[in-house]
Structure 1
């Protein structure tokens, strides 16, 4: 079996999911290739999407995302995104034809739209699996209804899937695929000592995401001024500027300051609580560790939806202007029962074995049957269906 995992660089989560799936499949003896679809098609396109994402999250992303959520679903009208990806899909076919995968996995909806177009035109024989990397459906997922399967973070998203137009048999509620090492339990004391922490002290882990998003310095100042006794590990991600500023600060409490690190599985095992922006991957890793979350500074759009999901299921608390982090810490330290209740809520939605479950499913797929090829006229008719035609 050969599996192609298509990703697109827009933040770090999609690529992390792709690597987790690749490691899981290779552990089962399955050949697996990762391809950043937009960078394969054009470096300029890849740079534009990656850089544009970083710019958008600081500007109009919330407004655009909300407008997409509110648009009327009409699969017979070509969106600008689908029209663009229709041309790109034909270029991507050069790779898929040569590699000839049995299964195509997509960790980003833009790659998913290209694959959906290829399925629409009968240009791939592969089984197709889409993966949600957030706790909600991106608005564009309604343009990728031809996928054989779509992996969702939880069973509770089935209603959303059906409203999007998917069938129940397409939905795989396996959880967001995370690095399999998060399924391996590490004793807290062992993890604390390995991280240079005092195992007898309460430990906070503060992560700002792969992009180093948020006002990290302001949050560290608030933690350092807290009346409660605890130690903190701060991970600034790729924000080297913030890390330099933190290292120049005179802090009263014990802080371990890190930039990018590949030891998050150990740090989450050592922590009692995590402070984080609500990215799909970091929150899934925290859920796997049964780690209560303090959510801060969500990226507008998809992270707003992650926040709603985690708050509604009792797995997190949210920092706001009127409910600042010192008041959340007061609740945690004065009322430890709140932590226990959050862990009980986490048990309802955590998926620590998400990657293994998905990879075992993929490895067991029947991939012998090839998709029927279409004539040029059939391809044209399929690409531009008439109103009232049923989607193939």
Structure 2
């Protein structure tokens, strides 16, 4: 059995989901080929999409948020607004030849643009009906334009999104609420004591702060507020590829009251999550899914207007997160976490119900059954 996994580099979540699916499928001995659906065929186009998303979310986030809201509000009678129409025209011919050569049983799209490519291939009769197509919705909402695709199945973060999907015109029988796929390592857990030993940090209360991949938000500001807390905890900060932030935090930590351990890009986020009591993070779909898989308590900061606002709404309405604001800073949020035992016990129960640590494995199992049946 063979699966082609299509991603597009606009934000880190789509690539992370693709890697997670690849890992889960490999454990089930499903052959996989993963490509960036634009970069593979037209690097210039990929750069335009990736840099455009980075610029808009980092430098003009309110404008990005307004466009996202406008897209959400477009009615069923509006002319279709194919987000990837220009990109589709540039890569479609090469993409069609590539897909034909793969002889795949299933093709999985972790981004709406890739889903549109598959839809056009199907409409033109280029993609054989026997090849199953699956879209992965990588947030706790249904992004605009997924309703303009025509795939066989759609994987969502939760069955609580079924109503929203059906409202958008996607048949319920196509919806697979398996959860956003995360790497299998996030479904395993070790004790805080063991995790802290592996990291070489003291065995004491720990707050994990992780910066978003796009560099949006003011992590340093939140850490300064954490340092004001009267609770005795240490901070682990992961900056990812944001070298400027890492250098800034390294300078900050010598002047802080609390101990802080600063990292750049790491491959052991799962171990850091096990070492920590709670996580301070932007509400990106993949990071949140990984944290929930680890049964972590979420403190949300600096959502990007658009899909991350919707993620915040979903998580707060489900009761699995605390959200920081100008009038409710992060030190107060952490105080609420540590000192309100009734609330933390409640969070534990709700997290158990919302978390989907085996999403990737469930998708692999489903793909095997469907393709074997056909």
Output the TM-score relative to the length of structure 2: 0.94
TM-superposition CA deviations, 1:5-48 (whole Å, max 9, x none) = 00000111100110111111122111100010111221111111
1:224 deviation in Å?
A: 1.4
Report the counterpart of residue 310 of structure 2 in structure 1. 305
1:99 deviation in Å?
A: 1.5
1:302 deviation in Å?
A: 0.4
Report the counterpart of residue 228 of structure 1 in structure 2. 231
CA contact (8 A) 1:211 1:237 kept: no
CA contact (8 A) 1:3 1:31 kept: yes
1:86 deviation in Å?
A: 4.7
Q: Of 214, 219, 236, which aligns to 1:216?
A: 219
Distance change in 2, residues 1:261/1:42 (3 Å): same
Q: How far apart in 1 are the matches of 2:82 and 2:346?
A: 46
Q: How far apart in 2 are the matches of 1:86 and 1:252?
A: 53
CA contact (8 A) 1:131 1:176 kept: yes
CA contact (8 A) 2:82 2:145 kept: no
Distance change in 2, residues 1:170/1:235 (3 Å): same
CA contact (8 A) 2:57 2:216 kept: no
Q: How far apart in 1 are the matches of 2:88 and 2:12?
A: 25
CA contact (8 A) 1:158 1:171 kept: yes
CA contact (8 A) 1:232 1:256 kept: yes
1:159 aligns with 2:163: yes
Q: Match of 1:130, SS?
A: strand
Q: Of 318, 329, 336, which aligns to 2:341?
A: 336
Number of equivalences:
366
1:288 aligns with 2:293: yes
1:195 aligns with 2:199: yes
CA contact (8 A) 2:337 2:344 kept: yes
Q: Match of 1:81, SS?
A: coil
1:327 deviation in Å?
A: 1.8
Report the counterpart of residue 69 of structure 2 in structure 1. 66
Structure 2 segments unaligned to the other structure (5+ residues): none
Q: How far apart in 2 are the matches of 1:149 and 1:81?
A: 20
Q: How far apart in 2 are the matches of 1:113 and 1:95?
A: 16
1:338 deviation in Å?
A: 1.8
After superposing the two structures, state which structure 1 stretch, 181-190 or 135-144, moved more: 181-190
Q: Match of 2:370, SS?
A: coil
TM-superposition CA deviations, 1:313-334 (whole Å, max 9, x none) = 1110111111111221222233
1:202 deviation in Å?
A: 1.3
CA contact (8 A) 1:25 1:363 kept: no
Structure 1 segments unaligned to the other structure (5+ residues): 370-392
Say what the alpha-carbon RMSD is for the aligned residues: 1.5
Output the TM-score relative to the length of structure 1: 0.90
CA contact (8 A) 2:68 2:306 kept: yes
1:79 deviation in Å?
A: 2.3
Bigger radius of gyration, 1 or 2? Answer: 1
Q: Match of 2:40, SS?
A: helix
